[in-house]
Chain A
Amino acid sequence: MTAAALASYLLTGLAGASSLFLVAAGLSLIFGVTRIVNFAHGSFFMLGLYLAATLVEAFGRTPLGFWGGVLLASAAVGVFGTIVEILILRRLYGAPELLQLLATFAVVLIVKDAALWLWGPEDVLGPRAPGLRGAVVIFGRAVPEYDLLLIALGPAVLGALWLLLARTRFGRLVRAATEDREMASALGVDQARLFTLVFALGSALAGLGGALQLPREPASLGLDLAIVADAFVVVVVGGLGSLPGAFLAALLIAELKALCIGLGVSKLTLVIEFLVMAIVLAIRPHGLLGRPEAAPRASAVDADGAGSTPPLAWILLGAACLLPLVLGGYPLVLAIDVLILALFAASLRWLVGPAGLVSFGHAAFFGLGAYAAGIATVKLGWPMAASLALAPVAAGIGAIAFSLVAVRLSGVYLAMLSLAFAQIVWSLAFQWDALTGGSNGLVGVWPSADVSGKPAYYLLTLAVVALAWLALRRFERGRLGHAIRAVRDSPLRAEAVGLDVSGLRRAALLVSGALAGLAGGLFAFSKGSLSPETLSIPRSVDGLVMVLLGGLASPFGPILGAGLFTWLQDEAARRVDFWRALVGLVILALVFFVPRGLAGFFGTHRR
């Protein structure tokens, strides 16, 4: 590659860095003051892009119409963010992290369906910026004028934000509240108003980032999660709460991606992103310019794994064995789904509850197991038993890889990284045509002849799930399980009594990932085909909804949750067009009214 070509790729990278920075800056600001990680931040970006497309179309393709549309879209997103803050987040500032994260994810689902309803499933193409349609020749290559504008805009926004924070009273209050909210309020600072303003500013920045992409990429419904995953990587690499850090990280990541594309290895971009994250976090666990968190907040969601297996469990198991005698056809298919999802949810409950590691990317392990089993069967011709055994192994390896970046982190960092990790795994499945079949997926993952009938496969699933569930329960109540709970409750004290905190977290992830992978393997053979949707982030959230439905406190929660969820989804998907928005509303209702889950609600919760 010539120096000129290299320079032109780097310029493209710079333009990408600017828009990434705008989104990450808003996310970082909001987190700094409110301590809430806003999963809906990518949705705000997406909304900004859609709104800008509509507004510019309405105002006419003149410079005034274009820039007016872009600014108005950004302001509208700011207003929308304000409404979200006042209606939803304000009631959750004292709530456990998991509930806050889920509530913002509910917003993701609702916004996605709202966008689908308003703009339809087709991508919306925006006009190019009037007056900046041309290109400038730099180093013998044409660089779009608009890219040059974006390149200038990133540092300009960083400078403006710096001035705002350093030179205004609002900025001083934001910095004071970022350090010590309670003290600021004792000095007469109205937290609620400050939080709302910061949220409005952060949302408007995300909206601006989206609106400015108008000439560069079409508005599409998948942008929300793609962008928020990128933004998470940027703020974690840069250091949560540090704007210059976010800027540096955005530069680093956008440049590396641009280089990969320039070198013709665009598929490497995902791996590069992951590697950058792993290297930076191994050397600086709090990011390039981040500072260590003061005190990790104890997870307030109670998860008590004690108590013996009640006789009810054995009665239920006996009844489940007899189910194929009374059920057949579609209900039996649903019953298999429930069993598989119960195992998936149980592995997630173990991680989120007793192990205290919040994951928004659990579907990655489910999907790794499913794809491993599918690929072994279809591409390698392995027998079913071997393929099924490979599923937890592959997912376990994935869990270890994830733990390389994750075990030194906890709380919101872990939640953000898990989502980014899942997005990367999803992209791999989506793009690696030769191995995974890409967006078409894999077909022909059929079970061996002796369990090809639905009743037989049901019994196989029941046996595997029941054994796995019991094994997990034994593990949870054994020595290692108790040690892992001790690490959750107080990493510092656990370390002081000689527990290997990182090792125990890795073990917790490994167990959880492997069991999710096993569920994935069972899923692959039950469906016969796989698509990237198998490991998409919404599935991770489905898992969390099941866990939340059932309640974290009881190991029976996931079973109850998976059953209810499957039934609800089946009913609703048949009757309602906008199923995702409905899930969002269900999540909000759970978070607000039954945060302890139904198992807790109905009083199996002791003490």
Chain B
Amino acid sequence: MLTVAGLEAAYGRAQVLFGVDLALGPGEVLVLLGRNGAGKSTTLKAIMGLLTPTAGTVTFDGHSIAGKPPHEIARLGLGYVPEDRRVFAGLTVAENLDVGRQPDRLGAPAWNEDRLFRLFPRLAELRSRRAGQMSGGEQQMLTVARTLMGNPRGLLLDEPSEGLAPVVVDAMADAVLALKREGLAVLLSEQNLRFALRVADRAAIIEQGRIRFVGPIAALAADESLARAYLAV
């Protein structure tokens, strides 16, 4: 579904990614774990085209997407949820969702307002509220829902549990599992190991722009030294 090989990226002259390899199939959840500054967000941004990769290939659904502009990548069915939410603060919930809307896609679950409101019931009550006047948790639900309006087949989720109340983290975990059941391929970056253990099938650990470990999430749960070496603060 999504294959990343030898991906390199830089901010100006500061290189951040030094050859990242990842592969992920439909209905699979892969969690990218790593410390602050390890390159998690950068990896997702480089895949999405928000940062032009300096080397490497990215293939999504049979299309080579490295170097393509973000809107073309999004239209191929790859959704992106940013870590700092980035809702359109002056637009209402319904308007935010409409901005994310794209035509139905063959082989992808088709989303509309009603279905999303079943996934995130809280949003239904806030339908005509301006996004800027919602809580952080509500904004996080909206940003996921907004991306789903594009009917993606693959999803990049950047730290979906960051800075959220435990109740909301639970809701996010349920949502990710629901998307997995729908057959979406999900690549999510996390620092929260508990969240990762709950939703992911496999884990990849990134450090200093390189992948250090890839394996089933169970291996990570079993081997505490791994988690401590790369994740503990």
Contact = CB atoms under 8 A, between A and B. Distances in A.
Interface stretch (A185-193, A228-236, A247-255, A322-330): A185-193
B90 A188 contact: no
Nearest to B92: A172
Interface string A161-184: 000000001001101100110111
Interface string B135-156: 0000000000011001000000
Contact of B90 (A169, A179, A184, A185): A179
A179 B88 CA distance: 6
B98 interface: yes
B22 interface: no
A57 B86 CA distance: 52
A220 to B, nearest CB: 40
Given A172-B91, A175-B90, A184 B99 contact: yes
Contact of B50 (A179, A182, A188, A189): A182
Contacts of B48: 186
Interface in B45-91: 48, 50, 69-71, 74-75, 80, 82, 86, 88-91
B91 A175 contact: yes
Given A173-B99, A176-B99, A180-B86, A185 B91 contact: no
Contacts of A176: 88, 91, 95-96, 99
Contact of B86 (A172, A175, A183, A190): A183
B102 interface: yes
Contacts of A189: 71, 99
B98 A172 contact: yes
B100 interface: yes
Contacts of A185: 69-71, 74
Nearest to B150: A188
Interface residues of B, number: 23
Q: Which one of A173, A188, A191 has the greatest number of beta carbons of chain B within 10 Å?
A: A188
Nearest to B85: A183
Contact of B147 (A179, A180, A184, A187): A187
Contact of B70 (A169, A172, A173, A186): A186
A188 B95 contact: no
A190 B99 contact: no
B99 A182 contact: no
A184 B69 CA distance: 12
Contacts of A173: 99
Contacts of B102: 188
Contacts of B100: 187-188
A186 B89 CA distance: 17
A191 B71 CA distance: 8
Contacts of A184: 88, 99
B91 A186 contact: no
B82 A186 contact: yes
Q: Which one of A179, A184, A185, A187 has the greatest number of beta carbons of chain B within 10 Å?
A: A187
A290 to B, nearest CB: 13
Q: Which one of A172, A175, A190 has the greatest number of beta carbons of chain B within 10 Å?
A: A172
Interface string B24-57: 0000000000000000000000001010000000
Interface string A274-311: 00000000000000000000000000000000000000
A187 B150 contact: yes
Interface string A230-262: 000000000000000000000000000000000
A186 B99 contact: no
A130 B80 CA distance: 56
Interface string A128-171: 00000000000000000000000000000000000000000100
Contacts of B89: 179
A559 B71 CA distance: 45
A186 B50 contact: yes
Contacts of B80: 186-187
B88 A180 contact: yes
Interface in B73-125: 74-75, 80, 82, 86, 88-91, 95-96, 98-100, 102
Interface in A180-209: 180, 182-191
A190 B73 CA distance: 11
A172 B90 contact: no
B151 to A, nearest CB: 10
A445 to B, nearest CB: 51
B84 to A, nearest CB: 10
A186 B146 CA distance: 11
Contacts of A175: 88, 90-91, 95
A188 B71 contact: yes
A179 B95 CA distance: 13
B85 to A, nearest CB: 9
Contacts of A191: 69, 71
A183 B100 CA distance: 10
Given A175-B90, A187-B146, A188-B102, A182 B95 contact: no
Given A179-B90, A186-B82, 20 more contacts: A175-B88, A175-B90, A176-B88, A176-B91, A176-B96, A176-B99, A179-B88, A180-B86, A183-B86, A185-B71, A185-B74, A186-B48, A186-B50, A187-B74, A187-B99, A187-B150, A188-B71, A188-B100, A188-B150, A191-B69
7 contacts: A172-B99, A176-B88, A176-B96, A185-B71, A187-B74, A187-B150, A191-B69
